[in-house]
Structures are given as C-alpha cells and as structure tokens.
Amino acid sequence: MEEMIERFIKYAKVNTQSKEDSETFPSTEGQIELAKIIKEDLEKINIQATLSEFGYVYAYIPANVERAIPKVGFLAHMDTSPEVSGENVNPRIVENYDGNDILLNKEKNIVLSKEKFPVLKEFVGHDLIVTDGTTLLGADDKAGVVEIIQAIKEIIEGNLPHGDIYIAFTPDEEVGRGVDKIDLSTFKPDFAYTLDGEGYGLFEFENFNAASLRYKIHGINTHPGTAKGAMKNAIKIAQELMFLFPPLETPEATSGYEGFYHFYEINGGVEGVNLKAIIRDHDKNKFQTRKYFAENIANFINDKYGEGTVSIEIKDQYYNMREIIEKNPQIVDIAKKAFEMSGIEFKTKPIRGGTDGARLTYMGIPTPNIFSGGYNYHSIYEFVSIQAMEKAKEIVKNIIKILVES
C-alpha cells in the first residue's frame, strides 16, 4: 500500500491540467511530463510501454496461460480539470480519520467540513489524502492510474495466471478529447474498464448524453452619450438569453437521471459576448429536445434583435453507454463478482458526467466504469481514501483472476 501512496503523491504533484481551447494535442505540456514518468515507472516493473506522439501511454501484458481467455483492458486519464488549479499540489495524509472537520489551510481558514460534505462520515477510520485548500488533488484520475499500475505490478511479481491485458492512460479526458487520438490497433481488448468513478464501491455503466453549446452574441458599441437607437448591448442580450433557460434545469437543482443546461463561462463586452455551456441528459429523446430548445432560443433572440445577433454552435461529445453495455451483460457480471470477492457491496448509479469509456463503448470496446476512491472532484475539497484505492486495485486483480478461472 505504501508504494501506491508514494506513486500517487508523485503523480499528483505534476501539473497536468488540460486546456479546453488549446490547439495542441495533448493540450498541455504537463501531461507529456507525467506520461514520460508513467512510462518509466512501467518499464521499471518489466512492463513494456510506449508513449505516442499524442501523449497516450500504452502497455500490453501478453497472456501467460495457453488456453483462450477474453482480452481485457484498463484505462485511466492523466489530466486534471481546468476548473481548479493543478499547480503546486501539496497532498497531505490524514491518518485514521476521526469524523470531524479537516482543516486544509490554517492561514486561509479553508475547511473540509463534515456538514457541507456529509459523505465524510463513511470514511471514519480510513486514511485520507487531502489538498492544502489551494488546488485540486488530482485523484480524478491519478488514483485510477496508480491503482491499475499497482494491480498489474502485483500480478507480474506474483507470476499470477492471466490472459492478454491492455492498458491505456489517456490525456485530455477533462476537455472531452480523451479518446480522440487513441490507437485501436495498439489498444485492442475485447472489453475494458475505466477506473474513473467518484465514490467508493460504485460501478457505473450508464452516463449522460452530452453536447457542448456555444453562443456568440454580436452587439453594436457606440458612445453612451449618443447611444439612443444605435447601441446594441451584447451583455444585456446575453443576460436575457440565459434567463430564457429553465431555472431549475441546472446542475445545482438536479440529480439522478435529471438532465440540465449549464453555463460555465462568459466573456466579452458591449460589442460582443461569448457564452459557453453544456447540455446533458440520460434520455436520448430528451437530449435531442434540449438541443432543439437551445437552437430555438437563438432563433427567438435573432427575431427580436435582428438576424445575425446570435450565432450558435452545438457539438455532440459522447452518448449514454447503457444501450450497448446491456447487450454485453457478462461485462457487468464479471465486475459484480470481482466486487464480491473484494468484500464490497456492488452498487450502481448513473454517471452525471462521462468517461473515456462512454466514447470507447461506441468505438467498439464496451467500457463501463469502476470507482477509484475519490470525492469532490474538480474542487479544492477533493480527497481520496487510501483504503478505497486499495480495494479498487483488488478489483482489477479479481477481474483478471475471474477471466482466467471462467
């Protein structure tokens, strides 16, 4: 366990924030830096690894048994969210958590509160890795990376029987490009699992249908002293446009299978404003309806203020994997048995987000998601349970064992 913790902290300290508007792939140099470290670490444990020009780390462990066994893959992503700083990450271990508030930063009075984050009560007695309150931690998804590495290391060192195992560590998942450049002639399992789930003991095989939404509002700027009849204030139009969306169909007002619209960035001035948003829904028909609604908003604004006032761009990002996973129930059955072997209750819930696995599933490799042990992702309050990481690692080993014995 100690080796896994040390590896996680080493990886967490590398700033791998991805960048949405970057024109490079991967979007940031820090991801290449970590990819090189991971490749070296894999080679140190006698796993042949390759680093692609696009920042993917691939590894293949050939079967050491003669009979045919399904080929399995494991994935995790190396980047962290652009939403919160990933620079100068300073992880700290809270041993034998006692259930009380955790002071993350005394100077700034930043507290991981048991009232605000009641999930903490589930981790009394666990050892937690937390932030110093100024950055995210990076458990999303460096916890998944180290769990996979440690599991495979123990399989190799123990000379345990296994079939063909494929590993891929991906860049730019947080900006929706995690499998844009993946090489399916190198990563070619029959099915796979991502270790990228928030929570402890969760298995996820359904997720949002997702689209990005961009509005560009074109205004007319003139001197405010002589603006009557001439100025068209893009800021005011942007405000009006956003208020046309249902106020209770937002992330902070929805849960479970409820979809939403989420405006997350606005910039500009009187002459022009850019709005960025996302559209999410588990139901395919409702997802399409949401996109039509967003288009109709643009049409309404253009009818009111003149053609060309608003331009809109909607791009599908990923789709709900459930439709395909349900046609391959053995993948879920294997995971369920692996959880049981690890002494963990098998719990499922819909992902209110997406993973590389969602897109891979539609590329021909069904890929549901296993928890990695972290909570409060994309936040200065992010933490991970060391015991949960250990269990996630066990599940990877158990999946491989089940495939050999089945």
What residues act catalytically?
79, 173
Confirm if 216 and 308 have CB atoms less than 8 A apart: no
Find, among 355, 330, 298, the residue nearest to 76 by Cα. 355
Cis peptide leading into 329, omega within 30 of 0?
A: no
Strand partners, 383: 130, 375
Q: How far is it, in rounded angstroms, from Cα 35 to Cα 51? A: 7
Geometric angle at alpha carbon 43, from 170 and 392, rounded to 5°? 55
Block residue for tokens 């300290």: 13
Backbone angles phi, psi at 262, to 5 degrees: -140, 110
Task: Note the helical H segments in 203-349.
Answer: 234-243, 284-305, 322-325, 329-341
Instruction: Please count the other Cβ atoms lying within 10 Å of the Cβ belonging to residue 99.
Output: 11
Residue 203: in which H helix or E strand, if any? strand 202-204
Find, among 113, 118, 147, 151, the residue nearest to 130 by Cα. 113
Measured CA distances, 394 to 9, 210, 255, 383 (Å): 20, 32, 30, 20
**DSSP letter (8 states) at residue 112:** E
Q: How far is it, in rounded angstroms, from Cα 144 to Cα 147? A: 5
Residue 279: in which H helix or E strand, if any? strand 272-281
Instruction: Please count the other Cβ atoms lying within 10 Å of the Cβ belonging to residue 347.
Output: 13
Distant-in-sequence, close-in-space partners of 145: CB < 8 Å, separation ≥ 6 = 11, 38, 76, 77, 78, 169
